[in-house]
Structure 1
Amino acid sequence: MSKALAHAKIVPRRSSDRGHANHGWLDSFHTFSFSNYYDPKYQNFGSLRVLNEDRVDAGQGFPTHPHRDAEIFSYILSGELTHRDSMITKGAEGQQGDDFYRMKRGDVQFTTGGRGIAHSEQNEHDSEQVHFLQIWALPWARGLTPRYHTKTFSEEAKRAAFLPILSPLKAGPGASEAEEKVAEATLPDTIPIHADFVMAAGIIGVDKRFKWTVGGNAVKSTTGRHVYIHLPMTKKGSMKIRLDGREDAVLNEGDGAFISNVNAGDVLSVESIGEAEAEVVVLDSD
């Protein structure tokens, strides 16, 4: 197969090389330096700052804690995870909304930490473990107004093509308070993020191939993009993908890849070559 992106640099990040901490109730893998894991080579990739793959036991989780000046989002792979703003106590939640949401597979919960926000994330299921990705991006400005968004993304749509999940706030870095409140994303039906950043996900059938257009037709910064591809551990090792037709860019479950020297409009091929359909997450930043 001819290479579609001969100019691109693709560097795999193997699962076994990630930071790893098993606290009993929490089993966590860190692609970038986080908490007690530090590696100066893995601080960020463009505006992508954190990519943790977490499993949390039933009845466990992260009690109320603060965040500032980060765009933080959770992508649920299996089980359930309850997000609750610090002002909402257990038993007084009411209906699901952005301040309180019991997330399941397909849900994405997004937080703008801005000038300060506090929430908890708990697995309140009585028996099932929750498996999810927690991802942080660096915002284009500090001191933003804190905000939550929660949205469900279709499994069927992810099986058709890469489905955009996050795209930049349409009003950009100079957004007014009114534009912040409207929270319109550049791409329809996505969650707005305060960064020149696009997230997408796809579920690629065996021997099928999806294509990702760098920048997702949504970004301002068009040159020198940073695309990170992640293959979460969901099929007990039976997933495998190949990037850009390259035999040295084959990823197994838990692996990722840094793709640099690419520009908006370049097209990346992602091919499923394992024994099970492959769930692939794309994180495309400036």
Structure 2
Amino acid sequence: MSGTLRHATIKLHRSAARGHANHGWLDTYHSFSFAGWYNPDFTHFGALRVLNEDRVQPGTGFPAHPHRDFEIFSYILSGELTHTDSTHTGAGSSNSDKPESELFCRVRRGDIQFTTAGSGVTHSEFNRHAREPVHFLQIWAIPWKRGLPPRYARATSSDADKRRGFVSLLSPLRGGADATAAQERAAAPSIPGTIAIHADFVMAAGIIAPGARFEWTVGAEATEAVQRKVYVHLPMTKGGKAKIRLDGREESVMMEGDGAFVEGVSAGDKLVVESVGDAEAEVVVLDTA
């Protein structure tokens, strides 16, 4: 075994081991137990509870449905997704006199949208595009507290930035589990420029050219727990041509759709991610206590 994280264990979660369902309008893969698919080996990983890789056909989507007590976020890989929810004034009301821009948010390639479901929220997700499917990751995290005030946020990261290194997208709310009401309203994240999440959890993404390597600093200098774990996911974006290797280990080569459980790491450790395929690899890192 080569690499620098000799104290760490890396266990691959192959794409073929994921749950899969094709409903025609929705083609979905589940990295963790979800809906009608249950596997006791894949229920959660730290605060990470759901990672679905979804493709939704044009003119279709998820009708309005409720959620509680999860942090729910979508990372758009291609296409566009139209989101409505009960945190938007007038959202879901067909006779609302509010401007259309106040009733929904449309997210596209490079966008991430985030919802604290907390005490309860109703939302819908539709692909309103006339021709193109939307491909995105739907991810849920377990918050450190139940009954939080619902909140919606969105942010954009450029491909150019992600080609230079990992870009942090989510980081813990400043103030942590004991945040004051004022800190909740301010929603300031531990890492400036990210979206604040109610968990000891950081999400990042990078686009790595063939032959190049990025380093992920475990904990991103933004988390409380020293002992950590990292889930790495390689989305299916390049028709199977993208491939990565973790920590220089030949037994830790990931293909598109694969994930990896990295355990036994500490804040400040460096996880090397190399692109060893024929196409650039868009890599998502989920770092949790």
Tell whether the structures are fold-level matches, with TM greater than 0.5. yes
The answer as to whether partners of 1:96 and 1:102 remain within 8 angstroms in 2 is: no
1:179-202 deviation digits (Å, cap 9, x = unpaired): 111100000100000000000000
Q: What does 1:85-164 correspond to in 2, within 5 Å?
A: 85-86=85-86, 87-89=90-92, 94=99, 96=101, 100-164=104-168
Secondary structure of 1:77's aligned partner: strand
In the alignment, the residues of structure 1 paired with residue 176 and residue 47 of structure 2 have an alpha-carbon distance, to the nearest angstrom, of: 16
Alpha carbons 1:78, 1:130 under 8 Å: kept: yes
Shift of 1:100: 2.2
Q: Which residue of 2 aligns with 1:251?
A: 254
Query: What whole-Å deviation, never above 9, does each CA across 1:188-245 have from its counterpart, x for those lacking one?
Result: 100000000000000001100000010011000111x110000000000000000000
Q: What is the deviation of 1:144?
A: 0.5
Q: How many residues align?
A: 284
| Cα deviations by residue, 1:76-124 (Å, 9 ceiling, x for unpaired) | 0000000111441477673646x62111000000000101011111001
SS in 2 for 1:284: strand
Residue 17 of structure 2 is matched in structure 1 by 17
Aligned to 2:216: 212
Please name the residue that 1:266 is paired with: 269
2:251 match: secondary structure? coil
Q: 2:169 aligns with which of 148, 158, 165?
A: 165
Instruction: Tell me which amino acid in the other structure corresponds to 1:3.
Output: G
- Tell me how far apart the structure 2 counterparts of residues 189 and 124 of structure 1 sit (CA, whole Å): 29
Contact 1:21–1:29 (CA under 8 A) maintained in structure 2: yes
Match of residue 55 from structure 1: 55
Which letter does structure 2 place at the counterpart of 1:30? H
Moved more, 113-122 or 170-179: 170-179
Correspondences of 1:214-253 after superposition (within 5 Å) = 214-223=218-227, 225-253=228-256
8 Å Cα contact 1:10/1:257 also seen in 2: yes
Between the aligned residues of both structures, percent identity stands at 60
User: Aligned-residue CA RMSD in angstroms?
Assistant: 1.4
**Which stretches of structure 1, 4 residues or more, deviate above 3 A after TM superposition?**
89-97
Residue equivalent to 1:181: 185
Contact 1:168 1:194 in 2 (8 A): yes
Give the counterpart letter for 1:283 in structure 2.
Answer: L
C-alpha distance in structure 2 between counterparts of 1:94 and 1:23, whole Å: 34
**C-alpha separation in 2, matches of 1:186 and 1:96:** 29
Q: Structure 1, unaligned stretches of length 5 or more?
A: none
Deviation at 1:172, TM superposition (A): 1.0
Distance in 1 (alpha carbons) for counterparts of 2:212 and 2:37 = 36
CA shift at 1:127, angstroms?
Answer: 1.0
Work out the CA distance in 2 between the residues paired with 1:230 and 1:204. 13
Letter in 1 for 2:12: P
Which residue in the other structure is 1:67 paired with? 67
Amino acid at match of 2:50: V
| Aligned twin of 1:285 | 288
Relative distance call for 1:207 and 1:96 in structure 2 (3 A) is: farther
SS of the equivalent of 2:11 reads strand
TM-superposed deviation, 1:2: 4.1
Deviation at 1:4, TM superposition (A): 1.1
Q: Contact (CA 8 Å) 1:185, 1:191: kept in 2 or not?
A: yes
Other structure's SS at 2:170 match: strand
